[in-house]
């Protein structure tokens, strides 16, 4: 509810489903896309001036002045520009490289997990609907979608599989000195 004190602003976003890429603007009082997706009653997004593109061909399927996009159908989404980072709500987390599979897309980036003694416990304890992925690169070669790089994308955890590749090191001792002083890499 802190968002109600902020002025309404427009976030330019790209929404990716298994069949469509939707580009439009989201009007919100919240500062970050991850805050919007964390709202308990958020089941859909209302986009302004949206363009619906067919996956692979990028053929325009529809244009709209206002549209409703169901979050249950979303594979992932991201802002079109730099991700805004806020310091006020940070909790210690550890960034690790992961491969995320949201068919037909593959995403390579960093996920930020809560501090636990074991990596499997940290991955199991993540309970958000959308997992933020930083320094993300996504592609779907099978449907002719070339790689795209974004600062931050939000992945629908119910529609994806998370794979931590061999060689990733999990720090059992907790956050580093830099992270505990506010210099960590948790951007949301």
Strand order in the sheet with 44-54: 60-70, 44-54, 20-28, 9-17, 74-79, 145-156, 130-140, 105-114, 93-102, 161-163
- pLDDT bracket for residue 185 (50, 70, 90): very low
Which tokens sit at 153?
């994308």
The answer regarding whether domain 2-79 maps to CATH 3.10.450.50 reads: no
Higher pLDDT, residue 73 or 167: 73
Task: Give the model's confidence band at 21: pLDDT under 50 very low, under 70 low, under 90 confident, else very high.
Answer: very high
- Listed by start position, the domains of the chain span 2-79, 93-173
Residue 181 is predicted with a pLDDT of: 38
Mean pLDDT, the chain, rounded, equals 85
Q: Give the position of tokens 């520009």.
A: 81
Instruction: With a cut of 80, say whether residue 86 has pLDDT above it.
Output: no
User: Between the CA of residue 139 and those of 35, 48, 99, 146, 148, what are the distances in Å?
Assistant: 25, 26, 12, 5, 7
92-124 pLDDT tens trace: 788 999 999 999 999 999 998 888 888 888 888
Q: What pTM value is reported for the model? A: 0.83
Mean pLDDT of 37-61: 92
Tell me what the mean pLDDT of segment 146-155 comes to: 94
Any idea which fold 93-173 has? SH3 type barrels. (2.30.30)
Helix (H) or strand (E) holding 122, with range, is helix 119-125
């Amino acid at each position: 509810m802190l968002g109600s004190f902020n002025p309404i602003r427009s976030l330019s976003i790209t929404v990716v489903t298994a069949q469509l890429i939707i580009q439009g603007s989201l009007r919100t009082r919240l500062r970050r896309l991850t805050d919007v997706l964390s709202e308990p009653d958020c089941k859909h997004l209302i986009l302004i001036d949206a363009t619906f593109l067919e996956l692979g061909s990028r053929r325009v399927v529809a244009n709209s002045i206002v549209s409703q996009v169901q979050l249950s159908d979303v594979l992932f989404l991201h802002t079109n520009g730099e991700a805004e980072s806020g310091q006020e709500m940070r909790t210690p987390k550890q960034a690790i490289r992961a491969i995320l599979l949201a068919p037909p897309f593959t995403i390579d980036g960093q996920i930020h997990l809560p501090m636990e003694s074991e990596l499997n416990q940290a991955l199991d304890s993540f309970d958000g609907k959308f997992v933020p992925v930083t320094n993300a690169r996504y592609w779907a070669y099978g449907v002719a979608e070339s790689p795209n790089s974004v600062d931050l994308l939000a992945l629908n955890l119910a529609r994806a599989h998370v794979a931590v590749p061999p060689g990733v090191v999990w720090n059992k001792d907790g956050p580093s000195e830099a992270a505990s002083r506010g210099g960590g890499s948790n951007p949301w």
